[in-house]
Amino acid sequence: MSFIPYAASAWLLLVGLWGLVTSRHLVHQILCLNVVQSSTYVLLISIGWRANGAAPIFLKLPKGQVPVDPVVQALVLTDIVVGVAVTALLLALALQAYKRFGTFDPERLRQLRG
């Protein structure tokens, strides 16, 4: 069983988190969050993979063919929707930050500490 998809998922997670930690731009932060989310999608889809599997369209499945797991595909679709909602909300906030305060730099917006 190839480990490459799992390695890719782990890499995406780490890269996304690194980007979040070192980011200086609101939109960049939001996109790094998307990268973190993508790591879970890759992991889920990899889990559903079956060797020599066919697409899980059950009306047309050739005999003897094992379909890949459709449940994880449904999970990923749901997660993408959740991710879209979060991204949309965050981008709206970032846009407001730019409109009202003229900056995308989280440092210039930082008011709360201690």
In three-state secondary structure terms, 67 is: strand
CA 43, CA 40: separation in Å to the nearest integer?
A: 5
Strand partners, 81: none
| Rg, the chain, Cα only | 19
CB of 87 to other proteins, least distance (A): 9
Q: Which residue, 65 or 96, has its beta carbon nearer to other proteins?
A: 96
86 and 80 Cβ atoms separated by less than 8 Å: no
Residues 67-96 that bind other proteins (CB under 8 A): 71-72, 75, 78-79, 82, 85-86, 89-90, 93-94, 96
Q: Would you tell me which residues interact with other proteins (CB under 8 A)?
A: 13, 17, 20-23, 26, 29-30, 33, 36-37, 39-40, 43-44, 47, 71-72, 75, 78-79, 82, 85-86, 89-90, 93-94, 96-97, 100-101, 106, 109-114
